[in-house]
Structure 1
Amino acid sequence: MATVFTRRIIAYILDFFVVSAFMWIVSYLLFLVFGSNNVHDVYQYVPYAVPVLILVYFILSEKFAGASVGKALMYLKVKSKNGRDISWPQAIVRNLTKIYWVPIIFDWLIGKILKTDRLLNNITRTVVVDDGY
């Protein structure tokens, strides 16, 4: 049986595929709406839209379901350290570093240096727990 940490990494990779599929669908719809002549005009805003959509995905899925698709597939769940479901501020703050790869690596590294979980999990008093096999 894999550790929670290993399953979290796999869950994050799975979530990358979910977000990528969602972005492909959005891109295709934009192409259909704006046509091939205006694609450049639309896609110049993608670097700004992608982080927002990633944040929305993680925040909404963890707030309402307690887990993103990847976490659910890996039988993981996000909870407050007091055992309750996470609040809106907790969902927002704990997912801020998931916008790009580099911030989440620093979040994890700083957490390891401080001998805790991810730094933002520590700040928001949240924990990723095993939801059972």
Structure 2
Amino acid sequence: MASVFTRRIIAYVIDFFVVSAFMWIISYLLSIFAGPQNFNFFYPAFTVIAPIIILVYFIFLEKTKGSTVGKSLMYLRVVSRNGYRISWIQAIVRNLTKIFWFPIIFDWAIGKLLTRKDRLLGVFTKTVVVNEIE
């Protein structure tokens, strides 16, 4: 089986498609509600709506289920370092860089440089992604 790091990347790509599907549904419903001629009025709101959907998706699922859809499919789970479920604060802080793809690269790179273990926010929140297949 692939390493946990590789599966985390695959899980993130899967989650990207899941969130994209949610945004497609929302934009479709909005276009029906607003009509095609008024949709351009609502389109700029997606710069605010998209990050909110992303944050809600990752925060809610990691807090309540311990994993997102992608992590579940890759048999990964997020837990506190003490082995318990993560708190709401841990879920919020660890997912702040997932608003856009660019900050998560810095989060990972800085975490590797400083701690040689995990993402910087994972270290800061004392959370870890564990393998469920052991």
**TM-score bracket relative to the smaller structure:** over 0.9
- Give CA-to-partner distance per residue, 1:77-132, whole Å, 9 cap, x none: 00000000000000000000001111000000001101120000000000000011
State the alpha-carbon separation in 1 of the partners of residues 118 and 44 from structure 2: 36
* SS at 2:67 equivalent: coil
Matched ranges for 1:1-133 at <5 A: 1-114=1-114, 115-132=116-133
The amino acid across from 1:122 in the alignment is: V
Kindly report structure 1 stretches of 4+ aligned residues shifted beyond 6 Å. Answer: none
Give the TM-score, by structure 2 length: 0.97
* SS at 2:37 equivalent: helix
The amino acid across from 2:47 in the alignment is: P
The amino acid across from 2:2 in the alignment is: A
The amino acid across from 2:31 in the alignment is: F
State the alpha-carbon separation in 2 of the partners of residues 50 and 17 from structure 1: 13
CA displacement at 1:37 relative to structure 2: 1.2
CA displacement at 1:44 relative to structure 2: 1.2
- Calculate percent identity across the aligned residue pairs: 62
State the alpha-carbon separation in 2 of the partners of residues 22 and 80 from structure 1: 28
The amino acid across from 1:72 in the alignment is: S
The amino acid across from 2:69 in the alignment is: V
* Unaligned runs of at least 5 residues, structure 2: none
* Two-structure CA RMSD over aligned residues (Å): 0.8
| Equivalenced residues, count | 133
Give the TM-score, by structure 1 length: 0.98
State the alpha-carbon separation in 1 of the partners of residues 21 and 52 from structure 2: 16
State the alpha-carbon separation in 2 of the partners of residues 55 and 7 from structure 1: 21
